[in-house]
Structure 1
Amino acid sequence: MESLGELLKSWPAGQSLTEQAERKLAELMREPLIGKLLDKYPDLNEDVLRLNLNRVYQYVTEYRNCSNCPGLDQCPNDYEGHYTLLSSETVNGLTQLYDRKVSCKKYLARQTEDAIRSRIRSFYVDDSALRRGYSSDEILTTDLERAKAVGQVLRYIDRTKDSGLQEEGLYLAGRFGTGKTFLMCYLLQELAKAGYSGVIVYMPDFVEDLKALMHEPGKLKETVEMMKETDLLIFDDIGAENLNPWVRDHVLGAILNYRMERKPTFYTSNYDLDALERHFSFTSKDGDELHKGQRLMDRVRPYVEVVMVTGENKRGRK
């Protein structure tokens, strides 16, 4: 932003800086904003404003900039997303004018968005659904066939906001493209606004990476600990991964064993719970291991509310 000094120097030659400053002060005194300032602080007068001309000029200029805001990224003020606010105080007969920088609404909104985003981690999940905000009405009316499922998710969000983290999570089951991941991203966004941290993991890609992490024990431990400790953990498209015994028993088993009765875990799947148990009971290495599949499901089934998500397949729809 151009300073008052730069402005005065650019005025026509032949006028002293004092004359130029007096003309600028007279112009500023005609500003309604300055009239309001004088009404608020009766001890203020032209002499005080003259001594603080640079502050007054910046105050008026930044107010004009904000009134015609071009957006936060193009903010013309000295400090992006901030404007100057003036106040006055009279002590022992001496009136002083003070300025301070105040955050604008757009800047505060961005800070809030950044704070929300910082609470959510995603692994292999397209974060476009995490970035966009949706209203509950929009969620409900996008597909009326899934209204019952949406109602369950919204009630869960309200319960958590009212009474804190629940012991149970949600298990969203349904066919392809009905918006299960979308609903879980909405849940993460809404509860992140309430201060909860969350992680969403796309299981097929995550399981393949876990196999590589076997050779990086430090990184593996850090990943597992994060999934144990996050407030909200979502396993997206569980059942579509290619399991091996180590991932099932030592990674998923460890995470779920820690979280049960502590923090809620959420799932989206094309399988119902019985079909998921059959999936967990078979690995390409050891074949059928029914008791190990049942053992893992004992850490899933009692700790979820099942939500059947119906509706049309939205993938590829324009």
Structure 2
Amino acid sequence: MKIFIAGHRGMVGSAIFRSLSKSQDHQIITATSTELDLRDQSAVNDFINKIKPEVIIDAAAKVGGIMANNTYPWQFLYDNVAIQTNLINAAHKNDVEKFIFLGSSCIYPKLAEQPLREDSLLTGPLEPTNEWYAIAKITGVKMCEALRKQYGRSYTSLMPTNLYGPGDNFDLETSHVLPAMIRKFHDAMVSGHSPVTLWGSGTPKREFLHVDDVASAVLHVLNGSMDHSLYNLGTGKDLSIKELAEMVQGITGHKGEIVWDSSKPDGTPRKLMDVSRLGNEGWTYSIELEEGISDTYDWFLENVENFKEVKITD
């Protein structure tokens, strides 16, 4: 099976690449951003027409945390809409058999009933701190749904909960909560266990999924015939940000004080996924959170001098 992985150098894409590369049944095709600008519609269509893949996995996106979304709304909206539109359109025009679109749980309304079900989509307002990214991903979900409905395409959207793992972004200006915590606690630990200041109250609850479990789910969809166009992807279990901080603190060995800055936003009060739809089709996660954070911290320590930083430009 000839498979094109878009975004193979990112945290999610690299996990999918590692997983699929273990099998000799697949021919994996990749392209760096210098080789193919996914925001260029003509270039993307020409590329897909040339390589003629049977499957496209879209793990390409501009991603970041609350600060990055608030600071760069245009880039988060435009770049993500352009990337996914070009890939989905090229897949359809070139008769690609399967398309797997990776999104985010932020597509669901801020105050949607917990746990978040797939049918909660577009039933209420989004969380303002990441609405630009969310609107882009909702567009991708609906494109895949429209092609499935009108043309019978086997195009599937997977909406993961908060992700983490090897290859994560540890830049404190643009990272998500878990890698930011790892970086902060590590830096404070090596500087004499100085206090660590974290945003908000610590009361919101979050769910986390290791990227290797995402790769496992992608493989499951790749090999199956899915009944729906949209699936949540997570563990079905969450914990408070305070509990997460204490877990990361223990794993990094930090002994100092944790200070909560309540002047900073908490974001969505809770984001727990209902994962029963994909569970009913035979998939479940396998990596528990403490094990996964320890694995991620080991990777961080191995790469602490050159870890990935996301630079957002105009």
TM-score range, shorter chain: under 0.3
Greater C-alpha radius of gyration: 1
TM-score (normalised: structure 2): 0.27
| Length-normalised TM-score, structure 1 | 0.26
Which has the bigger relative contact order, CA under 8 A and spacing at least 6?
Answer: 2
- The structure richer in helix per residue is 1
